[in-house]
């Protein structure tokens, strides 16, 4: 059986470093907001090329807190509209709603699955105050065009970079450094994953960062001194320690992911299967390798019968979810087509050459 991602095998390579880090953590006596977190925040900010990083409990909180911080600073207000791709994971939309803002669902580009400047034509209204760009599956959206459009319309730009750790454009600017702020998730299966939940915000805006540091910790400016209505959303010390270890290997892992993706694209030849669009640059870190197929159930059964695990990212479009029934009236044919035909095949740093070859052969024989 070829698992979708054998996390146990992947994390085994870090066992001795994890054990050492845990010993340091245990001996420190400081288990919340300690040195491990400060070190990771500094290291991840430097990696992304930003001035600041704020560790939080998870990726959803990262986005919620970005919006809440901008509301506290008077840059957004309750009821403002935020454009978001209609085909994103539901968390992107939930963050907007839970911050008291209004999501405006917009169709993505059908080939990249990301927002494009042309896809936003006609979507911007007088109520629109921001764009939440999602780098879906690990591929950067066209940030040059989107930022130009945003500037022309006086809109803020936020990144949902939960799947794009390390993705960079042609001049080396990385995900997390393209807008006013970015939210990351460190869910265990991410390209940079913790051994539990975790998240972070990156930004170059020191005023925003100051507000985020307060909001993640009950609104406290100092111990027991609350200046705003905050919440408890702090990246755990032990997860920060583990992330510091794994961060050193992120670029190498992303390089391997791209190498496997290139093998797939060069060698999978089946008219029934639509492969991802890829420019052969570092703008894609292949958090997932999604293919599209009309007979999804038959395709998944074919792979399963050949010992290959697949996942669907994501089987139900957000506007068709019961939780978001207020959007069920929307006509979003591109989004629905994507969600009805998408399947992710295994692509991760622990795949062997034999496994990659077996996956290619299986897809070609479908």
> Are 256 and 219 within one domain?
no
Phi first, then psi, for residue 335 (nearest 5°) are -60, -45
pLDDT in tens, 240-273: 999 999 999 999 999 999 999 999 999 999 999 9
- Which of 247, 271, 298 delimits the end of a domain? 247
pLDDT in tens, 29-74: 999 999 999 999 999 999 999 999 999 999 999 999 999 999 999 9
Residue 94 to residue 4: CA distance in whole angstroms: 27
> Are 212 and 274 within one domain?
no
- Find the domain containing 20 and state its range: 7-247
Residue 121, pLDDT above cutoff 90: no
Write down the pLDDT at residue 202: 99
> Are 283 and 152 within one domain?
no
Residue 163, pLDDT above cutoff 90: yes
Q: Is residue 331 part of a domain?
A: yes
- Which of 247, 275, 292 delimits the end of a domain? 247
Let me know: does 74 contact 156? Beta carbons within 8 Å. no
Here the CATH number for the domain that contains residue 288 is 3.90.1150.10
> Are 274 and 217 within one domain?
no
HEC assignment per residue over 242-260: HHHHHHCCHHHHHHHHHHH
Q: Is residue 2 part of a domain?
A: no
Write down the pLDDT at residue 242: 98
Q: Is residue 1 part of a domain?
A: no
> Are 312 and 175 within one domain?
no
Q: Is residue 327 part of a domain?
A: yes
> Are 211 and 263 within one domain?
no
If you average pLDDT over every residue of the chain, what do you get? 97
Instruction: Work out the average pLDDT over 333-345.
Output: 98
Write down the pLDDT at residue 28: 93
**Beta strands at 102-106 and 81-85: parallel, antiparallel or unpaired:** parallel
Two tokens at 171?
């001049």
Here the CATH number for the domain that contains residue 210 is 3.40.640.10
> Are 190 and 303 within one domain?
no
> Are 198 and 262 within one domain?
no
Two tokens at 1?
């059986």
Name the domain count of the chain. 2
> Are 226 and 259 within one domain?
no
> Are 126 and 196 within one domain?
yes
Residues forming a β-bridge with 280: none
> Are 285 and 147 within one domain?
no
Q: Is residue 135 part of a domain?
A: yes
pLDDT in tens, 292-320: 999 999 999 999 999 999 999 999 999 99
Please name the residue that has the structure tokens 């027991």: 224
Q: Is residue 51 part of a domain?
A: yes
Residue 21 to residue 24: CA distance in whole angstroms: 5
- Which of 192, 222, 247 delimits the end of a domain? 247
Q: Is residue 100 part of a domain?
A: yes
Helices (H), 306-351: 333-341
Let me know: does 68 contact 99? Beta carbons within 8 Å. yes
> Are 124 and 208 within one domain?
yes
Q: Which of 167, 169, 164 is nearest to 184 (CA)?
A: 164
Residue 246 to residue 11: CA distance in whole angstroms: 9
Let me know: does 133 contact 115? Beta carbons within 8 Å. yes
Convert 18-35 to b/e letters by CB count within 10 Å (16 or more is b). Answer: beebeeebeeeeeeebbe
pLDDT in tens, 206-232: 999 999 999 999 999 988 999 999 999
Q: Which of 132, 92, 86 is nearest to 109 (CA)?
A: 86
């Amino acid at each position: 059986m070829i698992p979708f991602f054998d996390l146990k095998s992947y994390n085994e390579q870090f066992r001795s470093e994890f054990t050492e880090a845990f010993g340091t953590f245990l001996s420190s006596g400081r288990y919340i907001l300690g040195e491990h977190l400060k070190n990771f925040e500094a290291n991840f900010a430097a990696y992304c090329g930003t001035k600041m990083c704020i560790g939080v409990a998870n990726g959803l909180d990262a986005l919620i807190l970005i919006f809440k911080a901008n509301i506290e600073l008077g840059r957004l207000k309750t009821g403002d509209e935020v454009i978001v791709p209609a085909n994103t994971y539901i968390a992107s939309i939930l963050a907007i709603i839970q911050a008291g803002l209004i999501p405006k669902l917009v169709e993505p580009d059908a080939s990249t699955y990301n927002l494009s400047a042309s896809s936003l034509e006609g979507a911007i209204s007088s109520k629109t105050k921001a764009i939440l760009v999602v780098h879906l599956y690990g591929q950067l959206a066209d940030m040059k065009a989107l930022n130009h459009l945003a500037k022309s319309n006086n809109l803020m730009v936020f990144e949902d970079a939960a799947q794009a750790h390390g993705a960079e454009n042609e001049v080396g600017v990385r995900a997390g450094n393209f807008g006013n702020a970015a939210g990351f998730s460190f869910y265990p299966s991410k390209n940079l994953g913790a051994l539990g939940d975790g998240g972070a915000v990156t930004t170059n805006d020191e005023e925003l960062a100051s507000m985020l540091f307060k909001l993640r910790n009950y609104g406290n400016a100092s111990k027991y001194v609350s200046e705003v209505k905050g919440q408890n959303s702090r990246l755990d010390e032990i997860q920060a320690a583990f992330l510091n270890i794994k961060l050193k290997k992120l670029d190498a892992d992303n390089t391997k992911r791209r190498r496997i993706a290139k093998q797939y694209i060069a060698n999978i030849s089946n008219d029934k299967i639509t492969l991802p669009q890829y420019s052969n640059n570092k703008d894609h870190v292949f958090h997932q390798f999604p293919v599209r197929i009309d007979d999804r159930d038959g395709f998944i059964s074919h792979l399963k019968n050949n010992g290959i695990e697949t996942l669907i990212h994501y089987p139900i479009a957000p506007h068709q979810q019961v939780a978001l029934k207020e959007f069920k009236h929307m006509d979003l044919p591109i989004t629905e087509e994507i969600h009805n035909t998408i399947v992710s095949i295994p692509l991760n740093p622990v795949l062997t050459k034999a496994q990659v070859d077996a996956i290619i052969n299986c897809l070609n024989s479908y």
